[in-house]
Structure 1
Amino acid sequence: MKRIERHPTDRATLAMTLVALLGAALTAAAYWPGLMTWDSMREYREGLSGDIDDWHPPVVEWVWGRLAQIVPGPAPMLVLQLALYWGGLVLLAVQVRRAGRPEVGWGLLACGFLPLALALTGAILKDSLMAGALLVATGLLAVRLRGGGGWASVVAIVLLLFAATLRFNAFCACLPLTIALLPRAWRRTWPRLVLTGIVATAALMAAMPIANRLIGAKPSGVELSLVIFDLGGITEHGGGDVFPRQLGVADPVRVNHRCYRPDKWDSYSDWVDPVCPLGYTAWNTRVAPAGVKPYPFWLRAVVAHPIAYAEHRLTHFAINTRLLPLADSVERPVQVEAPPNDWGYHVTPNRVLHAIDALTVASAHTPLGWPILWIALALGALVAGWGRQEAGLVVPLAVSAILYGCGYLVFSVAVELRYHLWTELAALLATMLVAGGWRHIPRRRLVLAYLPAAIVLVVGTAFRL
């Protein structure tokens, strides 16, 4: 029988695929059948019953409900997350290698072993699912840049629309990749780019409400978390009451001072004890029946008190991105065990789990656990990679990381590290692409590019001394 020689390119692709499978198997072995969180328990319950509201992404609940009809429990969602995550990474790595940059391709694949990402992809989280969809879209963008057919752009844009249904602020991450996938003529001039950006933003922002309506999700009042948190922040920093008068609280400024925390909104929720008289429950029982619309009321308060609003938001953002250290030093960066649940799903402790968790916790307490540093690194990659051969991938990834990370300056009510998974991944991938050709970048440009990251390191360290 004639021996068939395998082409070196095929062997390299196979090797990359095997490494990706190893990465997926590593997380699966540690977290099987998938780590349930309080959020995912509610999503699974609603997916099984079909009684879905919009507190968590209805798309997740709908998809999980369909998968549970085949295999119950978290396992199918874990497999889906890992398939998207590692599939996207290996697709991107293979395309970059085939473009003549094998060492960069392997470096991109190695980025998948970021400890935070290994831990978070083992938990059933919308953040992990979104990151996986964005990674596949990025890989398809690489296919398109190498002359692949228009099908790659179509599939990638569908995935970006799917990602946009998973978080109400996901459009910030999806927009730069969407624009990069559209025909070049649509962004050839600045006016065309601006118009394309406006239309793409509108489409991405519409994805979630349209999907929710198609699924038939009931409104839950989830928007009140942002509204009440910001009203509390304006009241705290401005010194005057901006809450609706229908709440009927005798001394709202004093009461709010007791309720308000700059890091998260939970003190206003209906699951704390004691319940805040200015919070979620009081709004639903006293304010909503009076016909007060949350967003218009919020906007009037922001416009009337811009300085207090800015102080509140900047303080929260500094904590959220870890420029300032967390006040609650015992809060874990990732979850390691499932809460008690009706179905008995849990992760069995094992050595791989302990190793990944230990690495994640350790790295989270270093600058690698500061989202603000990753935002600064993405900015550096954008400056260093602009106009270069790799710009077709670097620019969309870097801008996606920056927009999504900075979007939490406005769209944030909590400080969990999982919110920044995509920011860290996109910034790391963009940095790796730039690092592959750093010798050809002028030294002055490199210094200018990464000066913000150096400043962040100094300032963040100073706050911790």
Structure 2
Amino acid sequence: MKASPARWAPWLAATAGLALTVLVFYPGYLSFDSADQWQQARHASYNSLHPPLQAMLWHYLDRFWPGPGGMFSLQVMLYWAGLALLVAQLKASAALRVGLVLMLGLWPPLFGLLPHLWKDVPMVALLVLASALLLHDLRRPGLVTRVSVLGCLVLICALRHNALLAVVPLAGWLVWREVASRQWRLSTPLKLLATVLLSAALQWLASLPARAPSVTPADSPWSVVALWDIAAVSLAENQLLFPPGFARADVDLALLRERFLPYSNTSLYIDDAFRHSLFVPYNDAERARLRRAWLRLPVEHPAAYFTHRARLSALLFGLHPGVLPDRMVLMPGIEPFADNPPISANQSKLNRVVQNGLNALIDTPLFAGWLYLLLSVALAVAAWRRRTQPQARLVLVLLASTLLYSLPLTLIAGSAELRYLIWLLQGGMMAAVMLYWPPAPVQSAP
């Protein structure tokens, strides 16, 4: 039987989007963090400051596709394939399916983040794929589909330390679906317990790469955020609040004012003025001392601490776009690092036109997290009103995932980089599509 145009339309659109992405951005963009990951991949020597799975995969890709091009191609193929699979589940004409795929994939902030070789990008690509599979499971329930989702969730957890927050609602959806499909009579507390246990199992599986002999454990990576928070409160209170041994003897308020940036912690660590644990591990007493000083900030200095965190949140969610440097939003280019081979970013005319266009939009609401936060709230209200419909319930779960991942950043983020909100942006756009363009007829609606 000949396939209808509507069936292959999203895949054709995704192929066109993939081709455009490669033409515009290949071999991708490498920030300092990305270049560090590539260097680890080249030498097969990793550390757990960043979850090592991506660098491990990059190591094997680099053998037959040297440079960042292989990893770039893999992540953009995964992303566009996920979008195609998602839109392929919708009840829509061929033209509408093409339009939806291209709208989602070429949405300016998402298209601008896509070429960066950050773990955030493959993480969100896998979240797109997992969401598409869950929507497919609404139409054609099946164990294979749900197991595939579980595989995606493990990989998601293995890409970012805080990715579990995005995974828990999706794991809960799987538990509820499985219980309903098997007609088990489990109470809500038992289903919640099953969700917790499943999430813990997924996180344990995701942690296995970090236990490989080639991975050097990173001690207390939270220290760079803790010291930055202490620095902010010290400036507000006009007194140094660092525990003994964590600031060099010559550090004073004047030096701290010179170093401190309200949108990023990295400026504190240009030398050894502030002692984090990334290169020289703390002993147990030092670790406990710094943790205690950090956790006491909101209790002993609530006004200063929450003012600092509110300021960061305002910058992160785009309330003051003129204050935030453009490189906190997009980082086009390739950073040299250690012994990485010299390589140039895409310098074609097409790249310049597209990148300049994206850069011109950075200070607009399109790149502001607050817009997608409001969108998520509005969609949650609309989905709640339609909660008798299976796809509306899935949209609620998807929005819970985006918000649970994004909102804690107000307290734990160490900078105001837009990439931290990539799932809020992507999930909000996908939720709108899933809510207002329903899937093909549902076979099962537990």
Q: Same fold (TM over 0.5)?
A: yes
- 1:76-225 mapped onto 2 (5 Å cutoff): 76-97=70-91, 105-106=97-98, 108-109=100-101, 110-184=103-177, 190-192=188-190, 194-203=192-201, 205-206=203-204, 209-214=207-212, 216-221=214-219, 222-225=221-224
Cα distance in 2 between the residues matched to 1:251 and 1:75? 43
Question: Larger relative CO (CA 8 A, sep 6+): 1 or 2?
Answer: 2
**Residues 207, 262 of structure 1: alpha-carbon distance in 2 compared, 3 angstrom cutoff:** farther
Partner of 2:273: 277
Q: For 1:281-327, what per-residue CA distance to the aligned partner results, in whole angstroms no more than 9, with x for missing partners?
A: 8x977975964334454324444444432222121111111123352
Tell me how far apart the structure 1 counterparts of residues 291 and 214 of structure 2 sit (CA, whole Å). Answer: 22
Which shifted more, 391-400 or 372-381?
Answer: 391-400
- Alignment partner of 1:53 is 2:47: yes
Please tell me whether the aligned partners of residues 171 and 198 of structure 2 are also in contact (alpha carbons under 8 angstroms): yes
Q: Is the CA contact 2:171–2:199 (under 8 Å) kept in the aligned structure 1?
A: no
What residue is the counterpart of 1:231 in the other structure?
Answer: 230
Q: AA paired with 1:434?
A: L
Is the CA contact (8 Å cut-off) linking 2:230 and 2:242 kept in structure 1?
Answer: yes
SS at match of 1:409: helix
1:287–1:78 distance in 2 versus 1, CA, 3 Å: closer
AA aligned opposite 2:399? A
Aligned-residue offset at 1:34? 2.5
- Percentage identity across paired residues of the two chains: 25
- In structure 2, the residue matched to 1:334 is 330
Corresponding residue pairs, total: 424
Unaligned 5+ runs, structure 2: 181-185, 439-446
For 1:288 and 1:133, the matched residues in 2 are separated by 37
**Match among 291, 301, 315 for residue 319 of structure 1:** 315
| Counterpart AA for 2:361 | S
Structure 1: tracts of 5 or more residues without a match: 438-465
Instruction: Say yes or no: does 1:244 pair with 2:243.
Output: yes
Q: Is the 8 A contact 2:35 2:336 kept in 1?
A: no
**1:369 is the counterpart of 2:362:** no
Bigger drift between 207-216 and 366-375 goes to 207-216
What residue is the counterpart of 1:298 in the other structure? Answer: 294
User: For 2:134 and 2:276, how far apart are their aligned partners in 1?
Assistant: 42
CA drift at 1:58:
0.9
Instruction: Decide which of 2, 18, 22 is 1:28's aligned counterpart.
Output: 22
Tell me the residue number matched to 1:385: 383
State the alpha-carbon separation in 1 of the partners of residues 371 and 202 from structure 2: 27
Within 2, Cα distance between the matches of 1:173 and 1:422? Answer: 8
Structure 1 residues 207 and 324: alpha-carbon distance in aligned structure 2, compared to 1, 3 A threshold: farther
Is residue 2:302 matched to residue 1:309? no
| Structure 2 residue matching 1:428: 3-state secondary structure | helix
Q: Do the aligned partners of residues 157 and 237 (structure 1) sit closer, same or farther apart at CA in structure 2, a change above 3 Å counting?
A: farther
Tell me how far apart the structure 2 counterparts of residues 350 and 251 of structure 1 sit (CA, whole Å): 46
Q: TM-score normalised to the size of structure 2?
A: 0.85
| Inter-partner Cα distance in structure 1 for 2:28 and 2:40 | 18
**Closer, same or farther: CA 259–197 of 1 in aligned 2, 3 Å:** farther
Deviation larger for 191-200 or 338-347:
191-200
Distance 1:250 1:68, change over 3 A: closer
- Indicate the SS of the match to 1:125: coil
Contact persistence 1:249–1:278 (CA under 8 A) = no
Quote how far apart the aligned CAs of 1:407 are.
2.3
1:415 aligned to 2:416?
A: yes
Q: Per-residue displacement from partner, 1:431-465 (whole Å, max 9, x unpaired)?
A: 2233447xxxxxxxxxxxxxxxxxxxxxxxxxxxx
Name which of structure 1's ranges 260-269 and 198-207 shifts more when overlaid on structure 2.
198-207
Match for residue 13 of structure 1 among 2, 7, 13: 7
Cross-structure match for 2:442: none
Cα offset for 1:267? 1.9
What is the one-letter code of the residue matched to 1:13? R
Whole-angstrom CA distance in 2 between matches of 1:204 and 1:235: 39
| TM superposition shift of 1:378 | 0.9
Tell me the amino acid that sits aligned with residue 262 of structure 1: P
User: Do the aligned partners of residues 398 and 257 (structure 1) sit closer, same or farther apart at CA in structure 2, a change above 3 Å counting?
Assistant: same
CA distance in 2, matches of 1:217, 1:395: 38
CA distance in 1, matches of 2:327, 2:28: 21
Residue type of the alignment partner of 1:334: L
Amino acid at match of 1:339: E
Q: In structure 1, how many angstroms separate the alpha carbons of the residues matched to 2:19 and 2:151?
A: 27
Specify the code of the residue in structure 2 equivalent to 1:317.
S
Would the alpha carbon gap of residues 83 and 284 (structure 1) be closer, same or farther in structure 2, given more than 3 Å must change? closer
SS at structure 2 position matched to 1:422: helix
Structure 2: distance between partners of 1:209 and 1:298: 26
User: Cα distance, 1:77 vs. partner?
Assistant: 0.7
User: What's the C-alpha RMSD, in Å, of the aligned pairs?
Assistant: 2.9
Q: Assess if the C-alpha contact under 8 Å between 1:229 and 1:413 holds in 2.
A: yes
Instruction: Provide, for residues 401-425 of structure 1, a one-character-per-residue CA deviation record: whole Å limited to 9, x for no partner.
Output: 2222212112211112222222101
